[in-house]
Structure 1
């Protein structure tokens, strides 16, 4: 099979799927199997797609995982061939319509039905990851019974499929094929067992963290030479009076200053696998957590090499950097934006900057090395960051000016709440100006705002020199490191790894259901966080395994592709009175096969249950 382009009578370019066959006379003739109209399949994939479709039609199985694009186009074309009734023709079989009320081989076709459909595809990669990481064996070795281990699996798997509370887990389990997957009956599980499973997982969290780290290092040949550290926080629904670590703070990532918070510190290795995590009170300053994290790293890793810790600027105080050095850690950290003005003259000498290599398909980043006090300072200029910073300042300035105009309108209308005619009128206006300035600091620093008490008039002017001077540094930032052996490109690439922590936090709080907390006891909240971190271990196993297999696919894409692969019970009534009930998984499409093949999942090993029900003779009970 192959694809052929043909121009129609009206000049439209058409794409056809064609098969060549040799007749009895020895001549090769082309048979158009399917017309795809103006469908545009990239040239680079056409040969592979055609070969794959031919293999599907002939019943051959591919041994190697195919590219996602090839699998996707193959599925679309096979579906079109099925809808047009051409697939069976290609297979040299005969098709005909069956009349209403038809019977085929004794089966009453109009009464065939299916029921109890549950998702299985989304669970298969999770079970594969769980088994590869040896979690069931580890928990069993700690005396955890099989029933409790299955409940723990359900808690962790739920975070990766459809996060909910333990109270809702029994309801969720009715939508997925966990019974078939684990050969258990989850319908008899009450909600209490899931709370107990979380307690057990937390009890063994220290040993389990070490087990996972050692297992992942062995599976993927990971090292502990670079650690990425950052913090986030999440809020509670309710007062959470029984958790002493639940504290209110103005530093809420979701701006939920009305709720108690917990802070979570997370350390990842260079490949994005969790190394350690720590739960802090919600009002803990980010910069005060480094000592606890360093102690945890030393206790958990035991690595004799001198690792490098990559930090966000908000954590990297001079005291924290000194702590890292004293404990045999190097650091890479971004300098604070407020201090980049110190390097303004260096940023202006653009000819001294060099381009970071390996970014051919992206906008360039320019770097320049200078020396600081006992450390290397890498100056960086990024066009992408400049565009982003320009947009932020522009939007902030727009909102700031709008707020000033609203205040000016209130003054003009003599708003009674300002008490302009009283002795405290000016103080009230100044207070409003201060509140607006504090809300939009990126713009207010360029403006001088004046209030004329006699004329009751508000005015403002922008300092153009200061504004242009600041704008000239947009897209400029600087990195600091104690590693003097690294090249400029290596320093920048190591720092960019910190975005993996940001991605991890986004997934933890969004896809994996970390927020909000519905528990109010300290240990249950810690267990909730630990279950989420365990789920992230499975997620990274899936993504990294796919990467090693040459499949560029995120976990969100995997979940989306596999959610249509389900278990169903098929009911086949026969005219002799028998009813056959066959419970089996559906046939995966090509994209699903691609994922299963890359992860080493054997779908044919899934259990199939067949039951026949005989009709009772007349008069018998």
Structure 2
């Protein structure tokens, strides 16, 4: 046997391609002939080694092994050639199968149309995440039937793909999605009450679902760190919610003080995977929730805690003295920003940032940190931090507040000068309201009322900046981290604290991508169920994003969902020469952007072609 090079010219482009084949000489009745044994693709090996390559390939074909080890370049070329030939044989067999199974029908092209277009791309990815996370096995453990499991998947994947109310999920399931075709159980003619019943059923198994899903996620995405991030957010209701125990007025994170609120608490790990969640009233005090959350975690993970306890990372809203004391008593490590304005105690250090602090490398915006020695009698340490980005943000906020504060003082002054406002006690009331509204800025101003002592009326209003205003400018962008990890460097502690962005990212995804806001339900148990479905959908979202991140794709789910939405499933209609009307249910051919996502997630494109004749044309 020997290797032969063959040149082929592309008639359209004129480009010449060279391919290689393994050939043998045989005797026939018509004389010696050459027969192609293997198609090798393109062989890049130098020509002087082709003979050795042919011998190796001949030995492999006959099932023999080489006595002597071949040159590495020849062995690699042989492996590549064999791989190409296997692929060639597979393609040839597929082509033969298609030829045997093909059904050729003459078609009246004027009758070709399509109908029943349904979204497929996002559903394929959501269905894959559902199966990979083992949702069905977990729900079996909870005693759910096949129909209930199918409804559960439709409800949760519906929140992932088309976030909204339970009613909108039912409409989506009925008219907009190909998800029912992916399920093993038929969901034909599902009523809207089934969606409500399913959300209630899933809520009743909340603890088992959250614990099992967290364990599954940790197996998929193991980590050598054991960090828990804790924070709270709230969302608002549409309507008065008079019979809803969770609906209370409070400080809205979204500036919706006109609506009643409900609070969601999340514990996530450093990768953004939800450990557990809990729902509180809208006016819930953040610091009061920590002990409750720790008790729930210790109850749900009793086997883990004797071995190792996580490091808790929290925002300053939760880091009260009593909470830090409770954390220490329970034996947890922690990283927090101090609740009080501790940076004021270190103003001299912050004045010398450039010379005495260490700069954290590899960031677009400058960050400087300095670790302070552990104080006598304490086990925790403090890290002073200054961030260029934080300074710019706080500066912009301060300037805006200060501008509005001065504008309102000027309006009050004009009212006094024009004689509209003369009584001192009324002016003091107005000033008090301004100080309440602009409390962060008003403390840096001295406001004086010039009074006519004889007539007891106000003549003028004046104000001036206090010297402490300059101190505030010095401390803009500064903060102090307290931690029990006294053995770590300043940079390591800062990086630990910055993992808190994972829980902030989780809240953003829940609100923006998973329909957490607003809440339309007027009853408390329906509210809990609505929020819990969003939490379950987030488990799918985090699995998808983390899986893609391993392949270098860092896009968020909102972008992925938009990209995948153009991959659809539809029914093709046409009439043949016998006037028979054909309906073919088929999935669209994925575009390149779809195939990349499916490949990274190891998803096989759903085909399930269905062909039927539904009648004859009159």
**Normalised by the size of structure 2, how large is the TM-score?**
0.78
Counterpart for residue 135 of structure 2: 135
Deviations along 1:512-569, one digit per CA (max 9) or x if unpaired, are 1112222233222221121111111111000000011222221112111101111111
Counterpart for residue 180 of structure 2: 179
The whole-number CA distance in structure 2 between the counterparts of 1:456 and 1:440 is 23
Contact conserved, 1:160 with 1:511, CA < 8 A, in 2? yes
Counterpart for residue 511 of structure 1: 513
Confirm whether residue 354 of structure 1 aligns to residue 365 of structure 2: no
Confirm whether residue 444 of structure 1 aligns to residue 449 of structure 2: no
Counterpart for residue 272 of structure 1: 272
Cα offset for 1:614? 4.3
The whole-number CA distance in structure 1 between the counterparts of 2:210 and 2:511 is 20
Counterpart for residue 398 of structure 1: 403
Counterpart for residue 234 of structure 2: 233
Aligned length: 512
Deviations along 1:74-101, one digit per CA (max 9) or x if unpaired, are xxxxxxxxxxxxxxxxxxxxxxxxxxxx
Contact conserved, 1:386 with 1:476, CA < 8 A, in 2? yes
Cα offset for 1:20? 6.7
- 181-190 or 518-527, larger mean C-alpha shift: 181-190
Q: 1:567 to 1:577 in 2, by over 3 A?
A: same
Cα offset for 1:341? 0.7
3-state SS of paired residue (1:549): coil
The whole-number CA distance in structure 2 between the counterparts of 1:396 and 1:209 is 43
Contact conserved, 1:447 with 1:460, CA < 8 A, in 2? no
* Equivalent residue in structure 1 for 2:534, among 511, 532, 538: 532
Counterpart for residue 339 of structure 1: 342
List alignment gaps of at least 5 residues for structure 2: 1-11, 19-86, 88-103
The whole-number CA distance in structure 2 between the counterparts of 1:349 and 1:367 is 11
Deviations along 1:417-437, one digit per CA (max 9) or x if unpaired, are xxx35xxx3222221222122
Contact conserved, 2:342 with 2:479, CA < 8 A, in 1? no
Confirm whether residue 384 of structure 1 aligns to residue 384 of structure 2: no
Q: 1:483 to 1:614 in 2, by over 3 A?
A: same
Confirm whether residue 117 of structure 1 aligns to residue 117 of structure 2: yes
* Equivalent residue in structure 2 for 1:327, among 318, 327, 330: 330
- 483-492 or 266-275, larger mean C-alpha shift: 483-492
The whole-number CA distance in structure 1 between the counterparts of 2:595 and 2:419 is 71
The whole-number CA distance in structure 1 between the counterparts of 2:268 and 2:245 is 27
3-state SS of paired residue (1:572): strand
Cα offset for 1:328? 1.4
Confirm whether residue 566 of structure 1 aligns to residue 571 of structure 2: no
Where does 1:211-230 land on structure 2 (aligned, <5 Å)?
211-222=212-223, 225-230=226-231
3-state SS of paired residue (1:111): strand
Cα offset for 1:187? 4.7
The whole-number CA distance in structure 2 between the counterparts of 1:614 and 1:463 is 87
Contact conserved, 2:165 with 2:515, CA < 8 A, in 1? no
The whole-number CA distance in structure 2 between the counterparts of 1:566 and 1:294 is 45
Counterpart for residue 205 of structure 2: 204
Q: 1:317 to 1:195 in 2, by over 3 A?
A: same
3-state SS of paired residue (2:616): coil
Cα offset for 1:144? 1.1
Contact conserved, 1:572 with 1:579, CA < 8 A, in 2? yes
Cα offset for 1:154? 1.9
3-state SS of paired residue (1:109): strand
The whole-number CA distance in structure 2 between the counterparts of 1:199 and 1:413 is 64
Deviations along 1:594-616, one digit per CA (max 9) or x if unpaired, are 1111111100x432111123427
Contact conserved, 2:119 with 2:566, CA < 8 A, in 1? yes
Cα offset for 1:166? 1.8
Cα offset for 1:456? 4.3
The whole-number CA distance in structure 2 between the counterparts of 1:222 and 1:196 is 37
**Normalised by the size of structure 1, how large is the TM-score?**
0.78
* Equivalent residue in structure 2 for 1:21, among 12, 15, 21: 15
Report the RMSD for the aligned CA atoms in angstroms. 2.4
- 446-455 or 322-331, larger mean C-alpha shift: 446-455
Where does 1:28-107 land on structure 2 (aligned, <5 Å)?
106-107=106-107
Counterpart for residue 98 of structure 2: none
Contact conserved, 1:397 with 1:442, CA < 8 A, in 2? no
Deviations along 1:339-390, one digit per CA (max 9) or x if unpaired, are 211111121233221112343xx12211101134431100111111111121
Where does 1:414-433 land on structure 2 (aligned, <5 Å)?
414-415=419-420, 420=421, 425-433=423-431
Contact conserved, 1:449 with 1:458, CA < 8 A, in 2? no
Q: 1:222 to 1:334 in 2, by over 3 A?
A: same
Deviations along 1:7-48, one digit per CA (max 9) or x if unpaired, are xxxxxxxxxxx9671399xxxxxxxxxxxxxxxxxxxxxxxx
The whole-number CA distance in structure 1 between the counterparts of 2:17 and 2:121 is 44
The whole-number CA distance in structure 1 between the counterparts of 2:450 and 2:368 is 48
Deviations along 1:568-588, one digit per CA (max 9) or x if unpaired, are 111122343122211111111
The whole-number CA distance in structure 2 between the counterparts of 1:109 and 1:325 is 77
The whole-number CA distance in structure 1 between the counterparts of 2:497 and 2:278 is 22
Contact conserved, 2:371 with 2:489, CA < 8 A, in 1? no
Contact conserved, 2:510 with 2:534, CA < 8 A, in 1? yes
Cα offset for 1:195? 0.9
Confirm whether residue 318 of structure 1 aligns to residue 312 of structure 2: no
Contact conserved, 1:216 with 1:222, CA < 8 A, in 2? no
Cα offset for 1:167? 2.3
Counterpart for residue 40 of structure 2: none
